[in-house]
Amino acid sequence: MHKGHNKQFNRLFRAAELTIILASFFLTYFSRFGFPPFYTDLPKQYQVFFPAYLIGWFYLSYRFQLYKGRRIGRFLTEAWDVAKTVGLCLILAAVVGFFLRDFPLSRIFLFYLWIIQTSACFYSGLQSDQSLKYIRKQDIISGIYSLLGKMTGLMLS
| Domain count along the chain | 1
Range of the domain at 22: 3-156
| 75-109 per-position pLDDT tens digit | 677 778 888 888 898 888 888 877 766 667 788 88
The pLDDT of residue 84 is 86
Residues 17-41 have a mean pLDDT of 81
pLDDT at position 12:
77
Q: Sort 57 into a burial class: Cβ within 10 Å, 0-12 / 13-18 / 19+.
A: buried
- pLDDT for 139: 67
| Per-residue pLDDT reduced to its tens digit, 116-129 | 988 888 888 788 77
pLDDT (0 to 100) of residue 94: 83
Is the pLDDT reported for residue 148 higher than 50?
yes
Comparison of pLDDT for 29 and 145, the residue scoring more: 29
d(CA 29, CA 110): 10
pLDDT tops 70 at residue 70: no
Q: What pLDDT shows up at residue 115?
A: 92
Q: Which tens digits make up the pLDDT trace of 2-28?
A: 555 567 767 777 888 889 888 988 888
Residue 153 in this model has a pLDDT that exceeds 70: no
Report the pLDDT averaged over residues 133-146. Answer: 67
Q: Report the mean per-residue pLDDT for the chain.
A: 76
Does 1 score more than 50 pLDDT? no
